[in-house]
Amino acid sequence: MNILIAPNSMKGSLSAFRFADLIGQAFLDADPGFFSIRKVPVADGGDDTGQVLTNALELKSYAVDVLDPLGRPVKARLGYAGNVAVIEMADASGMKLLQPHELNPLKTSSYGTGQLIMEAVCLGATTIYVGVGGSATVDGGTGMLEALGVQFFDSSGNKLHSNGENLSRIAITKGDLNLPAGIEIKVICDVENPLLGEEGAAAVFAPQKGATPQMVSLLEKGLKNFADLTETLTGKSVTGIKGGGAAGGIAAGMAGWLNAEIVFGGNFILDLIAFDQHVSWADLVITGEGKIDSQTFWNKAPYAVACRARKQGKKVIGIAGSIEYTEQSLFNGVFSVINQPCKLESAVQNAESLVYHAAKELATLIVAVRKI
């Protein structure tokens, strides 16, 4: 029986690659002669997007010295080959680089992401894919733009550090983008939120990054100021762009200043990795993520995987840490790895064991049923 294993990451505990490895090993341990395994980890613009695309596109991985969200040196990964580069924003500007007490979107900057873009261009890339999930920033992309050559000043001519706190003070820009003509940038995201408003970058995402209600108000004001400035200088309105609020507004900033195209990760990435060919091989498709809930069905990676599987008439099963909502017409079954009451911290710490044993139980059941 051909089993295609295509999970997203289990956020906070397992990468998509480790998730796939554990499921695959469990199936082989259940009956190595019965199952043939193919592992194709997936992503949607969030965790592991960089590594998924680097592997699938057969790019070389480079370690690049950049500045983290608080301006400290850190190593970030960059995938590159030929004229294509892949960047994962979280590697340079992500929450994973900060301690919980350091989260503060007034102080954090996307400067390191701009450094990765510049390095990709220096290597020779003309097509750059940027996965923007997991960022620690709400700076509208001003930090990224600063790394690419744009300087920001207040109305008195004082130079501003590019972060969320200073967005509302920007009045003047100097310098030009240090990018050659012909650079194509695609921003891969997994949300459709606009830049401003109740569903915007500040209101929805800033609290996840450490913002208080007072900070949210200041960030909203700053993003509005930067959007107005962007329209004045570039002639482009970024406030109504679908997905412009992704990663603290960097998606809108890249669309306005870099002519970037915002794409929605689930299906876009599956197309890039020729996922339908893998589905054709499979008898059963298994996907998963940390939590399968209503957000999954907003074109997150497991939803996109399930749709591709069902389109070809294949059975599809979801495995998750927790389940709050399921669309039974899409999945043939959804299973939680939690087999008894436990706290989130315990589940995260024991994620490998929980995933392995849940997958092995599933595999054992499949073998028993198919052999009847």
Element (H, E) at 79: strand 73-81
Confidence (pLDDT) at 326 = 62
Provide the 3-class DSSP secondary structure of residue 60: strand
**Digitized pLDDT (tens) for each residue of the chain, 372 residues in all:** 999 999 999 887 899 999 999 999 999 999 999 999 999 999 999 889 999 999 999 999 999 999 999 999 999 999 999 999 999 999 999 999 999 999 999 999 999 999 999 999 999 999 999 999 999 999 999 999 999 999 999 999 999 999 999 999 999 999 889 899 999 999 999 889 999 999 999 999 999 999 999 999 999 999 999 999 999 999 999 999 999 999 999 999 999 999 999 998 889 999 999 999 999 999 999 999 988 887 787 778 999 999 999 999 999 999 998 888 666 678 998 998 887 767 777 767 888 999 999 999 999 999 998 876
Res 243: pLDDT: 95
Structure tokens at 1: 């029986």
Query: Which amino acid, 129?
Result: Y
pLDDT of residue 369: 87
pLDDT for the residue numbered 213 = 97
Residue 327 is predicted with a pLDDT of 66
Q: Please spell the DSSP secondary structure of 117-165, one letter per residue.
A: HHHHHHHT-SEEEEE-TTB---STTHHHHHHTT-EEE-TT--B---SGG
Cα 206 to the chain's mean position, in Å? 16
Question: And the tokens for 77?
Answer: 């990964």
Give bridge partners of residue 298 from the DSSP assignment. Answer: none
Under a CB-based contact definition with an 8 Å cutoff, are residues 44 and 300 in contact? yes
Token duo for residue 93 = 């500007």
Query: Alpha-carbon Rg of the chain, whole angstroms?
Result: 21
> Domains in the chain, please, with CATH?
2-42+274-370 (3.40.50.10350), 49-266 (3.90.1510.10)
Q: Are 190 and 265 in contact (CB under 8 A)?
A: yes
Query: Which of 175-204 are b and which e, b meaning 16 or more Cβ less than 10 Å from the residue's Cβ?
Result: eeeebeeebebbbbbbbbbbbbbeebbbbb
Three-state helix/strand/coil letters over 27-94: HHHHCCCCCEEEECCCCCCCCCHHHHHHHHCCCEEEEEEEECCCCCEEEEEEEEECCEEEEEHHHHHE
CA nearest neighbour of 191 among 242, 141, 238, 239: 242
Is residue 132 within 8 A of residue 250, CB to CB? The reply is yes
At 245 the three-state DSSP class reads: coil
Task: Report pLDDT for 339.
Answer: 73
Separation of alpha carbons 155 and 150, rounded Å: 16
3-state secondary structure of 95: helix
Q: Say which residue the tokens 């849940």 belong to.
A: 358
